[in-house]
Structure 1
């Protein structure tokens, strides 16, 4: 019995650490107890008193009073470079151009009931189709990414007549019941009971510690698994996946995505790309699928679309799927929000005017070189991977066994927070670095100096396998 209880306890601990830095570990408690500022203490106590507690949220890490550019400032005056930002901060916080456009829109037309249209919403939809290119020329807005995923699933059912969906293990597509049904992270589904029927999951294309590693490092066989499931299951209407997985930064090959597109076309399965966290330039492309030379049937975007100020999301699809006029796919109150659309247009303009896509590609080369150099110095780093300004540093206690360095990752996180750098930890052992695209090279260099200092300090305490 004791062995079974221990096994269940270990599994629960692993699930809790599968996404993000958990807020219920002893390390978080020690961090909270170390806060001496009375204003911060009071705000955290009030937050804990009035908000419903949930993992990765309340109880909170700190209390903020300001967000500007790449920085957060807390109630005690401490500044953090924000390399997390819930993926909304592509153009930083409070960008003057975005703020100005929002203020002007609020003064002119703050709200538009969905029975009416407005020029800002029209212009925003048109601009999104232009930067997406190809056949993605129909748009539907929603107030958040989870809602867009729900709309995409409904449209796929309508178009194909099939309700079954294939998704990836460890994927994240939102926190609502329909989104966690197609998501692959068990920590979100645990204890939730029956969800959407007809969801099948397949292993993601991972080359470092994948379910079916290939001797030559290829990953196309993971795509072949999709075809196997489609043919065996039958009635599959959609395959949903991120272009690259944001949380722990898993990047499939171009050949993988080419094969996925081929399989979906062959079996009349709609390909839904969830680019909610990674769109709007994070990979050096407007949208991640553009890096792989494919086009989805449905594209979901959000988070950074609102300029780090306004909740804003959109679904893009092809004209041939404009067949659901008798169905309310979204029907959201803020469906054609002029304020949200003003923020989105301004965000796109900032990315264009400041040439951020080209800048991100330059930054990618710099970050890759820095992280590879770190990997050569510290055995704690098992793998590095990334694209644009999205990077994952996977920490292991033993490179040969690839044992996850869970405690070490958490120690590095809190040390970096002490030194003024905020980021997230995914899968319990992957440091995920996701800075604003506007970050200057000197700031990026300083942030990586902090990461290396923390890794060095923890490495000095580590015992080799």
Structure 2
């Protein structure tokens, strides 16, 4: 049997000694609730045992059962407009009082308004949309659409990618912890080496050269494999914030057009402004054939996802793509409209870019000061800090990352650990300079303290 710590290294390790020590610091009542949770719910990697008991979430913060406040830079990537956003709460309550549900086969103004609002945020405004109850379900529809449109069943995805936990989604996903012991998956799924992996393989600091190697390999697969219908990838890798250069996407778009391949972007955790643009791909000037959205789409209140597809590919009317009970979700669409309105009225994209510049300078200062930070990567308010034992060899320092996580939690800062050694922050778009200053102060104190006792 595999060591649970080893198979969990894509995310936070929930079976380590550090987690046990953390849980033992909680009060008796919280530990009772955590035990009841473990007894009630199916155990799974990265979720059981849970970390704490939360009684309130508001703005950028969560509060535990003892009233302790944590600045939450994790949020499962859903809290772009903050927790308990007043616009979203009001819209959801009003929708619940007027029309909480419509049966499939019917529509309403709110769902059309929400769909058009998301389409209008694209560059070309030349898309059609379908709502789904989860991001994983939207990925499944994208794969079905690619087969229907192209008549081909093969799809290229990336190692280390994440596209959801359903069987079809893990078939194209690249994280081992989701595929372990699953046996045969969806046929025709071919994984390519992602941009970030080439960075280490060819030992190059030139993004353009790395991008060229990465896309050359994808083109090699297309020429030698044949029957490729789609390429699916995260434009910016959410969990550890890898950011390819423009030329990477320009060549991908060109290759797809030349070979009749559909380009699918999964922006489930990164869209709605986190990158500094409403949609991530807008940073690169390349539009996908299909765009998958989720997480923050429901304003940190309603589980909601969607798939946008170029209008010319709306050619599947003779099959059922999703046929979901909540295919026209009135409450979810009210949340979508409210979240977009809040982002626009409070100029959250501008705030994201302003705070990103501040975070960039703070990150540079830390990098220049502490050798254990092997790299830092920032796109808008998507931030990752890579902890290493040696900058030259880039050997991962997983233990230090985990120690820093728990030190920061004790001081009131919550975030995600990705790929074992990456400290990843996804603060809400409403975050302030003061809150970022607090976060960087705690982070630096954690580096000093944990490195001293490493």
Instruction: Choose from 69, 72, 78 the match for 1:79.
Output: 69
Q: How many Å apart are 1:136 and its aligned residue? A: 3.8
SS of 1:132's equivalent in the other structure is coil
Deviations 1:278-305 (A, max 9, x none): 0000001011100001000000001001
Question: Aligned pair 1:382/2:371, yes or no?
Answer: no
1:354-393 mapped onto 2 (5 Å cutoff) = 354-393=346-385
Q: How many Å apart are 1:187 and its aligned residue? A: 1.3
Cα pair distance change 1:266/1:382, threshold 3 Å: same
2:120 maps to which residue? 130
TM-score by length of 2: 0.97
Instruction: Choose from 185, 190, 199 the match for 2:189.
Output: 199
2:396 maps to which residue? 404
1:394-433 mapped onto 2 (5 Å cutoff) = 394-433=386-425
Q: How many Å apart are 1:223 and its aligned residue? A: 1.1
Cα pair distance change 1:215/1:349, threshold 3 Å: closer
Give the Cα–Cα distance (whole angstroms) in 2 for the partners of residues 75 and 394 of structure 1: 32
1:5 maps to which residue? none
1:224-373 mapped onto 2 (5 Å cutoff) = 224-373=216-365
TM-score by length of 1: 0.95
Give the Cα–Cα distance (whole angstroms) in 1 for the partners of residues 167 and 139 of structure 2: 11
Deviations 1:59-88 (A, max 9, x none): 100001100001101111111111001110
Whether the 8 Å CA contact 2:164–2:173 is kept in 1: the answer is: yes
Q: How many Å apart are 1:20 and its aligned residue? A: 1.4
| Structure 2: segments with no counterpart, 5+ residues | none
| Structure 1: segments with no counterpart, 5+ residues | 1-7
Give the Cα–Cα distance (whole angstroms) in 2 for the partners of residues 9 and 106 of structure 1: 47
Deviations 1:400-424 (A, max 9, x none): 1111001000000000000001101
Deviations 1:293-328 (A, max 9, x none): 100000000100100000011100111111101111
Give the Cα–Cα distance (whole angstroms) in 1 for the partners of residues 300 and 219 of structure 2: 38
Q: How many Å apart are 1:133 and its aligned residue? A: 2.9
Deviations 1:349-369 (A, max 9, x none): 010000011111111110010
Give the Cα–Cα distance (whole angstroms) in 2 for the partners of residues 214 and 117 of structure 1: 53
Q: How many Å apart are 1:461 and its aligned residue? A: 3.3
Q: How many Å apart are 1:13 and its aligned residue? A: 4.3
1:104 maps to which residue? 94
2:445 maps to which residue? 453
Q: How many Å apart are 1:144 and its aligned residue? A: 1.0
Cα pair distance change 1:190/1:136, threshold 3 Å: farther
SS of 1:351's equivalent in the other structure is helix
Give the Cα–Cα distance (whole angstroms) in 2 for the partners of residues 39 and 238 of structure 1: 51
Whether the 8 Å CA contact 1:155–1:324 is kept in 2: the answer is: yes
SS of 1:117's equivalent in the other structure is coil
Question: Aligned pair 1:173/2:163, yes or no?
Answer: yes
Cα pair distance change 1:38/1:14, threshold 3 Å: closer
Question: Aligned pair 1:31/2:31, yes or no?
Answer: no
SS of 1:328's equivalent in the other structure is coil
Cα pair distance change 1:331/1:71, threshold 3 Å: same
Give the Cα–Cα distance (whole angstroms) in 2 for the partners of residues 129 and 408 of structure 1: 43
Cα pair distance change 1:84/1:43, threshold 3 Å: same
Q: How many Å apart are 1:208 and its aligned residue? A: 8.2
Moved more, 209-218 or 194-203: 209-218
Give the Cα–Cα distance (whole angstroms) in 2 for the partners of residues 428 and 112 of structure 1: 44
SS of 1:166's equivalent in the other structure is strand
Give the Cα–Cα distance (whole angstroms) in 2 for the partners of residues 14 and 293 of structure 1: 39
Give the Cα–Cα distance (whole angstroms) in 1 for the partners of residues 199 and 422 of structure 2: 13
Whether the 8 Å CA contact 1:142–1:335 is kept in 2: the answer is: yes
Deviations 1:8-50 (A, max 9, x none): 967x744321x21121111111111221x22211211110110
Q: How many Å apart are 1:214 and its aligned residue? A: 3.2
Whether the 8 Å CA contact 2:153–2:229 is kept in 1: the answer is: yes
Tell me the C-alpha RMSD between the 2 structures: 1.3
SS of 1:187's equivalent in the other structure is helix
Question: Aligned pair 1:160/2:150, yes or no?
Answer: yes
Moved more, 126-135 or 225-234: 126-135
Cα pair distance change 1:426/1:52, threshold 3 Å: same
What is the count of residue pairs matched by the alignment?
Answer: 452
Whether the 8 Å CA contact 1:363–1:389 is kept in 2: the answer is: yes
Deviations 1:202-252 (A, max 9, x none): 111117853334363432220121111011100000000011000111111
Give the Cα–Cα distance (whole angstroms) in 2 for the partners of residues 249 and 460 of structure 1: 27
Give the Cα–Cα distance (whole angstroms) in 2 for the partners of residues 318 and 101 of structure 1: 29
SS of 2:196's equivalent in the other structure is coil
Cα pair distance change 1:371/1:215, threshold 3 Å: closer
